[in-house]
Chain A
Amino acid sequence: MSASSQQEQVIPALPRTQTVVMGRQGFFSVVLRLIGVELYKLRCRMMSKVLAIIAILATIISSALVAWITPDPLELTNVVTLVAQTLNIVGLILIIILAGTIVGGEYSVGTVRLMLTRGPTRAQYLFAKLGAILTCIVTGVVSLTVLGSIVAVLFGLTKTGVSQFNFFAGALAPSLVWYILATILSLFVYGAMACCLSVLGKTAAAGVAGTILWWVVEGLVDNILPWIGSLSKGLLSDFLKAIPDYLIGRNISTLAQNTLAESDSTTMLASLHALLVLVGYLILFIGLAWWVNKRRDVIN
């Protein structure tokens, strides 16, 4: 049966009751609406409130401590770097939990079949989850950076009694923006991994445990492989030493450091390499999640 003959036999839809107000049905309109749905669910959830409180407390404590301990007047770069470092540990774990839960939770509870029978495609559904994760990361990183800066200024004031208005000097602003973007990207790569593993494992635990395990193992491999490589010689040695250059953590560090470093051709090349590797991981995780999500039978 040809597509055209199928089209001719389509039964016209009956008008809906007037009280049903439909929204736009374009691909991106649906994705945006679904992102709104995901954020609404997160807002109503106790877990996200607890995670947010942990992130805020971690930022306040670390910023206050550094402001209190540092003998010299604080600079904005130091504070942003500190907040980013806090986020790269505490924030990372929190975002992994968040991403794993909002994706895997749908499978665990069984609401995935509810959502997939409402009209959006599976791709839209996945992109909405990723969009919600990205929104949480951007909101979290920006707001916690601002919060950390304010806390640092306030503690700096209480310590020295002098306002450090040069704290906000804008000379490093572009680098700081890139630094914050690099932090967002690094968190999003792990968020996408948690999302992917949750889809594969159909549970929140698969996404959370799998990603944290990857993060820990990657840290070990990053140190062990070059050491093993130094014990051997030749092609194997080069291969083992080169592996860490393609790990997520190493490239995140490189990208973050280079955004604040003085730019030359070496750092540019290293940054480009890091960026490509991270984008490659993103494509891998999102692509795999999309492919599995598209082909899978939903039976739970």
Chain B
Amino acid sequence: MSETLPQYNGTTVISTHRLTKVYGKLVAVNDLHLQVMRGDVFGFLGPNGSGKTTTIRMLLGLIRPTAGRAVLFGMDNAHQLPAILQRIGAIVETPVFYPYLSGLDNLRVIAASSGMMSGPSNDQRLAEVLEIVELQSYEKLTYSKYSLGMKQRLGIAAALLADPELVLLDEPTNGLDPVGVIEIRRLIARLSELGKTIFLSSHMLHEVQQICNRVAILQKGNLVQQGNVSDLLREGEQVEVRMDNEEDMQSALYFLQQAREQGANWIRTINMAQNRRGQATLVIDTPQMHASEINAILARNNLFAAEIHPREGSLEALFLKVTTPSPASLHLGMEALADVPGPESIPEASRSGKRGEQ
């Protein structure tokens, strides 16, 4: 068995090997190979019922895998769960607390349960996490009176309480209004800056694209995509070209196709389409950085583009692409790990990961 184990090294925080969970005839998670590196902001995507929460529950030891294993911090969670959990802060689904206790009292209870000293010795830490999630003013309010956003924030405070190395967040923006979503996004960015490894399960693709440096996509329990967000988005990048008239459009199409045949293999496909204003455009599947080369090809042939728009790839497009076809044809299994870079090969910008800042 050992020869098929994923090659994890000193910076691999989560590594799952053929992790599987079956409920009767339902395969909730199938043969999952995940690898999360220290410092990653790892987006764990998938439609409802794709197995995200089941995977998180298996990582946290709440449910037992039917097959396979999960290794966190180099320790197998089937044997060393307490030591692993001491290094993790987690929200699993909607955070739930004791409704009859105040926010502060709930944190006190969780602090003691997390192995922290009881009594006033940790009061400063409680104040710190309440400040991080901006709940100081509501610390004495009974939890049952908290709004959904406050409950989510208290969940994050609880997850951060013992200063964990890995923070697992399962749908932390569920039910939040746009302001709440932005707050959580900022908070995750802040945690990442503090050096935490974040494992973020979500189906809010736009959020994940903005804050994660690596993603995995699950579909019906199968891992269908895993890799660096920047690499995956690069695959979806396009350049949109609009010419002044139909004749020039046809010429541009001809010369670009010719260029591709002559070796410009960075041009994947060229399609005629209409832009949002109803104008005919050429949509070229190619990394954005080739926009100037496209312009040069056209210019060499005395064609002058009216508009050239480099278009970023979107996680949404990728998500739809990989979750729409039959999952069986896309199931990656061990191959998914082929895309996992070693820590040395992850670009620094990508490690710090904020797509919006790139």
Contacts and interface: CB of A to CB of B under 8 A. Distances in A.
Chain B associates with chain A: yes
Interface of A: 1, 3, 6, 9-11, 13-14, 16-17, 19-23, 25, 30, 33-34, 36-37, 40-41, 44-46, 109-111, 113-121, 295, 297-299
Q: Which among A40, A111, A119 has the highest number of chain B CB atoms within 10 Å?
A: A119
Q: Is the interface of B mostly helix, strand, loop or mixed?
A: loop
B60 interface: yes
A23 B117 contact: yes
B101 A298 contact: no
A295 B85 CA distance: 18
Interface of B: 1-2, 5, 8, 10-13, 38, 57, 60-64, 71, 73-76, 79, 81-82, 85-88, 90, 92, 95-101, 105, 108-110, 112-118, 121-122, 124-125, 128, 158, 161-163, 165, 195
Contacts of A36: 112, 118
A299 B63 contact: yes
Contact of A41 (B57, B76, B96, B98): B98
Nearest to A10: B74
Contacts of A299: 57, 62-63
B104 to A, nearest CB: 11
Given A21-B117, A119-B85, A111 B97 contact: yes
A217 to B, nearest CB: 33
Contact of B90 (A10, A21, A40, A117): A117
A208 B63 CA distance: 27
B82 A21 contact: no
Nearest to B96: A110
Contacts of A17: 125, 128, 163
Contacts of B64: 295, 297
A184 B352 CA distance: 59
A183 B211 CA distance: 60
Nearest to A30: B115
A25 B128 contact: no
A9 B124 CA distance: 34
Contacts of A113: 57, 62, 92, 96
Contacts of B117: 21-23
A109 B128 CA distance: 27
Contacts of B163: 16-17, 20
Given A11-B10, A33-B115, A119-B85, 14 more contacts: A1-B1, A6-B71, A10-B75, A14-B195, A21-B121, A23-B116, A36-B112, A40-B105, A45-B100, A116-B62, A118-B110, A120-B113, A120-B115, A295-B64
A46 B100 CA distance: 8
Given A20-B116, A25-B115, A119-B85, A109 B13 contact: no
Contacts of A111: 96-98
A197 B165 CA distance: 37
A253 to B, nearest CB: 37
B137 to A, nearest CB: 20
B162 A20 contact: yes
Contacts of A116: 60-62
A44 B99 CA distance: 11
A34 B113 contact: yes
Contacts of B63: 297-299
B58 to A, nearest CB: 9
Nearest to A34: B113
A1 B100 CA distance: 47
B114 A119 contact: yes
Contacts of B82: 119-121
Contacts of A45: 100
B50 to A, nearest CB: 16
B90 A22 contact: no
A37 B110 CA distance: 9
B161 to A, nearest CB: 8
A44 B115 CA distance: 21
Contacts of A23: 112, 115-118
Nearest to A38: B109
B54 to A, nearest CB: 9
Nearest to A106: B98
A13 B112 contact: no
A117 B115 contact: no
27 contacts: A1-B5, A9-B8, A9-B74, A10-B73, A10-B74, A11-B74, A13-B73, A13-B87, A14-B165, A16-B162, A16-B163, A17-B128, A19-B125, A20-B125, A21-B117, A22-B117, A40-B112, A46-B100, A117-B85, A117-B92, A118-B113, A118-B114, A119-B82, A120-B82, A298-B57, A298-B63, A299-B63
Contacts of B73: 10-11, 13
Contacts of A37: 109, 112-113, 118
Nearest to B114: A118
A6 B85 contact: no
Nearest to B86: A119
Given A1-B1, A299-B63, A13 B165 contact: yes
Contacts of A30: 115
A109 B165 CA distance: 28
Nearest to A109: B96
A293 to B, nearest CB: 12
Contacts of B98: 41, 109, 111
Given A13-B165, A16-B163, A17-B163, A114 B76 contact: no
A23 B111 CA distance: 10
